[in-house]
Amino acid sequence: MRVNGQSVDLAAAADALGVKVDEVAGTRLLDVLRDGLGLTGAKEGCGMGECGSCTVLVDGRAVCSCLVLQGQVTDADVETVEGLADRGGADLQEAFVRRQAVQCGYCIPGVLMSCAALLERVPEPTDDDIRGALDGNLCRCTGYNRFHDAVHDVARGRCAGAS
């Protein structure tokens, strides 16, 4: 497993988790990230894949890391919000700040990862595309409208930059 481009030292992660190395595979990816690697950007909001605040990218796909065991992603590239800027997502982060799309912010790391996956797949998403990509990310603060605004900003910016 690589996380944000770096190979994971499973022994160190096991130590931090307080488990044996061969027990890491049976540990939820979310716990490996948060408690094994200290990457606390992904949050736990429900533990059953309903709220999306634990969303990370596994080989580019947005998944709930509370529903995945580490042993299911041993050969995968995992990306978290901490690595988002390095993979070209700084404009997305800036758009969320500028559009004041962030309130308490607890859902935002998951929302950003879902948006990042969407923008890779669909460079100029429609509002329906955005709804489809974010309907697994619960936010209780913002009412979601500003997420649309931020994603459209990024899409416009990237298209302008590419042309």
Partner 1 sequence: MTDIASTPWVGRSQPAEEAPEIVTGALQYVTDLRLPGTLHGVVVRSTVPHARLDGVDVDAARELEGVAAVLVAADVPVNALGPRDVDGPVLADTVVRQVGEAIALVAAKDAATAHRAAALVRVALTPLPVVSDMAAALDDDAPRLHAHGNLSGRIAFRSGDVDAALAGAHLVVHHEVRTPGQEHVAIETPGGTAIWEDGHATVWCGSQNPGLHQRKIARALGVEPDHVRMIGGPVGGAFGARNDDPMPVYLALLARATGRPVRLHTTREEVMTAGAKRHPFRTEITVGFDADGRILGSRVRALADTGPVITSGPNVMKTSAEMSTGPYAFEAAEFDGTVVYTNNANAGAFRGYGVPQVAFAVENAMTRAAQRLGVDPVEIRLRNALRGGDRHSLYGHLTTESLRVDEALRIAGAHPLWADRDEWAAGATWPWRRGTGVAVAMKGVGMGSGTGDTARARLRIDGTGHVTIWAGPNHTGQSIQTTYRQVAADTLGMSYDDVSVIVGDTAVVPESGPTAASRSTYAGGAAVHAVCLALREDCERLGLHLDTDAAGTGEKLEALGRAEHAAEFRLPDTEHIGLVPHADLATFAPHRVYGSCAQVVRAEVNVLTGEIRVPELLCALDCGTPINPGGVLGQAEGGILQGLGLALMEDHVVTDGIPRTTSLENYLAPTVADAPRMHTVLVPGAEATGPYGAKGMSEVVVVPTPPALAAAVLDAVGVLPAELPVTPERLLALMEEVA
Three-state DSSP state, 69: strand
CB 29 within 8 A of CB 77: no
The DSSP output letter for 139 is -
77 binds partner 1 (CB under 8 A): no
Smallest gap, in angstroms, from Cβ of residue 163 to partner 1? 26
Among 130, 153, 154, 155, binds partner 1 (CB under 8 A): 130
Footprint (CB under 8 A) of partner 1, residues 99-128: 99-109, 112
| Cβ contacts of 132 within 8 Å, gap of 6 or more | none
Among 29, 55, 118, 146, binds partner 1 (CB under 8 A): 146
**Residue whose C-alpha is closest to residue 78's, from 46, 56, 49:** 56
Residues at the interface with partner 1 (CB under 8 A): 18, 34-35, 38-48, 50-51, 53, 80-82, 84-85, 93-94, 96-109, 112, 130-131, 134-147
